[in-house]
């Protein structure tokens, strides 16, 4: 039997409960809203550095992307109905997040699971904005992401805060508790939690604590593509907001050292979230490893009128703090200047 090939698409700072909602929404929720035509089956690998890599089956992604596009192309009214429901979920979710009641933890989690399918669909559709038949829906999808893009981050912060309130003695392990464990208050022993903290894999709804990747590959007959980084002076990505600037690089993998960011520097990151906004206001340009035109960095760059190139895949690995670069967001090229 041919091995399934998985390729990394995202790297995120996520708690286990966030991973569960992402998986549920893309694997089952997307399948439901497209009447069985499309789904994604993400694989999550948490590294002890505090980041989670998200992988997808290369062949399945190609099939699912076309299926999502075709489904909504043939059912434009279905998109409008789903968008209306999605907005209602977002309003309810925002209200619950502001209230931050322990009694609402399950409601918040379930609402996040309910909005994830539409997040996934809008991300796919947004890439077809130039398509003759789907362009109109793609533009509405892009508007929808712009309006509601921050809600999933707000929900993630709220869920962790409520979990910490529920388990103050487990504050160091909150990010490694599943929704079921938090809800039932039946938490694993410290040995199990320590294993999860070292690293874990989440695949097909199952958690594999401190589990070798090679063993998972054999168990499920798949191969996980490894990153190959070479020294280069030029890299390419997708233009999210046009412009051309020169500036010094500041690589920000997290927001922990935002005070070091200087006005006019080029922000280089895996991706951005609302937590990055204070330094995004100072940056002369954004360059990210991940994302498309519906990503947070792309949306903010257009709002701020800042040049932005997304989806370079390797910017954070080949660019270093202090590198002088030209960000040509007309052609989608970042060049080192010597």
Q: What is the mean pLDDT of the chain?
A: 93
From residue 294, how far is each of 105, 141, 234 by CA, in Å? Answer: 28, 9, 24
Q: pTM higher than 0.75, yes or no?
A: yes
pLDDT at 48: 77
SS (H, E, C) 269-307: ECCCCHHHHHHHCCCCEEEECCCCCCCHHHHHHHHHCCC
Instruction: Give the model's pLDDT for residue 150.
Output: 87
Q: What is the rounded CA–CA span in Å between residue 43 and residue 81?
A: 30
The domains found in the chain, sorted by start residue, are 4-220 (no CATH), 234-336 (3.50.30.10)
Starting from the edge strand earliest in sequence, which strands make up the sheet with 285-288, in order? 234-236, 333-336, 324-328, 244-251, 266-269, 285-288, 308-310, 238-241
Does residue 229 surpass a pLDDT of 80? no
Task: Report how far residue 83's alpha carbon sits from residue 160's, in angstroms, rounded to the nearest whole number.
Answer: 27
pLDDT digits (tens, 9 = 90+) for 111-157: 999 999 999 999 999 889 888 888 899 999 988 988 888 899 999 99
pLDDT tens-digit profile of 293-304? 888 999 999 999
List the one residue out of 157, 153, 155, 158 whose CA is nearest residue 299: 153
Which range is least confidently modeled, 84-88, 167-171, 260-264, 287-291? 167-171
DSSP state, residue 48: T
């Amino acid at each position: 039997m041919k091995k399934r090939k998985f390729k990394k698409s995202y790297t995120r700072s996520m708690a286990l409960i966030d991973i569960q909602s992402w998986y549920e929404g893309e694997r089952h929720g997307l399948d439901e809203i497209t009447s069985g035509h499309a789904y994604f089956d993400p694989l999550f690998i948490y590294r002890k550095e505090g980041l989670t890599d998200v992988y997808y089956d290369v062949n399945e992604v190609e099939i699912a992307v076309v299926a999502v596009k075709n489904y909504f192309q043939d059912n434009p009214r279905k998109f409008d109905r789903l968008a209306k429901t999605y907005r209602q979920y977002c309003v309810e979710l925002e209200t619950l997040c502001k209230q931050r009641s322990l009694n609402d933890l399950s409601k918040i989690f379930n609402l996040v699971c309910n909005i994830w399918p539409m997040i996934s669909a809008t991300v796919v559709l947004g890439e077809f904005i130039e398509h003759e038949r789907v362009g109109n829906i793609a533009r509405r999808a892009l508007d929808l992401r712009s309006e509601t893009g921050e809600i999933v981050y707000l929900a993630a912060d709220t869920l962790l805060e409520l979990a910490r309130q529920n388990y103050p003695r487990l504050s160091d392990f909150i990010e490694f508790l599943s929704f079921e464990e938090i809800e039932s208050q039946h938490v694993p022993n410290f040995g199990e939690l320590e294993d999860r903290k070292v690293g874990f894999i989440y695949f097909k709804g199952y958690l594999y604590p401190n589990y070798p990747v090679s063993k998972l590959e054999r168990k499920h007959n798949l191969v996980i593509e490894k990153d190959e980084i070479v020294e280069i002076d030029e890299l390419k990505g997708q233009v999210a907001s046009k412009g051309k600037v020169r500036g010094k690089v500041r690589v920000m993998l997290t927001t922990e050292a935002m005070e070091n960011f200087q006005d006019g520097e080029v922000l280089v990151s895996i991706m951005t979230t609302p937590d990055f906004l204070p330094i995004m206001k100072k940056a002369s340009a954004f360059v990210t490893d991940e994302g498309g035109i519906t990503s947070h960095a792309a949306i903010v760059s257009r709002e701020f009128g800042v040049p932005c190139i997304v989806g370079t895949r390797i910017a954070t690995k080949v660019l270093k703090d202090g590198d002088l670069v030209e960000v040509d967001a007309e052609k989608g090229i970042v060049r080192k200047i010597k």
